Amino acid sequence: MKFTTHHIAAFIAAATLALPGAAQASALDQFKSFVSTTKSAKGEFTQQQLTKSKTGKAAPVSSGSFVFARPGKFIWTYQKPYDQLLQADGDQLYIYDKDLNQVTVRKLGNALGSSPAAILFGSNDLEKNFTLSEAGERDGAEWLNAVPKTKDTTFEQIGIGLRGGVPVAMELKDQFGQVSVLKFSNFQRNPALGAQQFKFEVPKGADVVKQ
């Protein structure tokens, strides 16, 4: 699935990562601990929209890798079915479409806001922008609901599934009732990252569009 403006928050949401220990704690306690102790992380993801197409076929599964460092720095790479890159340096968000050889540049603040990315890449003040609540057990995981306090956001509700102290999935429900599911694997918590890790270099010959 190609990147669209409507799905920006879902695409950059995807670095929910490891939380060691706290297996007996509630989902809310586990996630608060994750946010306060995880400064950076990297791993792999899959993403799928649950809404079926008009032909009745399931939406294709996207996959790739991610790396992030709080606050506001991340690299979100789609490898299948399309080669795309979303990268933020703490100030700007760069969206690179390899097929079009085009880079779209946006101010990062507007892209985060009360989105899932604000939880995962932003500051640790969760209650400022979200109402958090326990959502019970499902599919072998303890679930947490995060509802944005502002109405000026793409998503109505964000579900975060944790198993054994580790966030393993996110469910993102938008204002149109569509649900996207993100699943995470092979993550590393607080890895060593280079100082220039998140500096974006415009590919040779690429068109640059600022929004």
Residue of 93, 118, 131, 124 lying closest to 3 (CA atoms): 93
What total of structural domains would you count in the chain?
1
Whichever domain contains 153, its CATH number is: 2.50.20.10
User: At residue 15, what is the residue type?
Assistant: A
The pTM of the full predicted model, rounded to 2 decimals, is 0.78
pLDDT tens per residue, the chain (211 residues)? 454 544 555 555 444 333 333 344 788 888 888 878 888 888 899 998 887 556 667 788 899 998 988 888 889 999 988 889 999 998 999 999 999 999 999 988 755 655 666 666 766 666 777 899 999 988 888 899 988 887 767 788 889 988 766 678 889 998 888 898 999 888 788 998 887 899 999 999 999 999 8
d(CA 199, CA 88): 8
> Where in the sequence is the domain holding 145, given as residue range(s)?
5-210
48-61 burial, b at 16+ Cβ within 10 Å, e below that, comes to bbeeeeeeeeebee
* Opening angle at CA 71, ends 46 and 179, nearest 5: 30
Q: Estimate the share of the chain in helix, then strand, then coil, as percent rounded to the nearest 5.
A: 15, 45, 40
d(CA 98, CA 205): 11
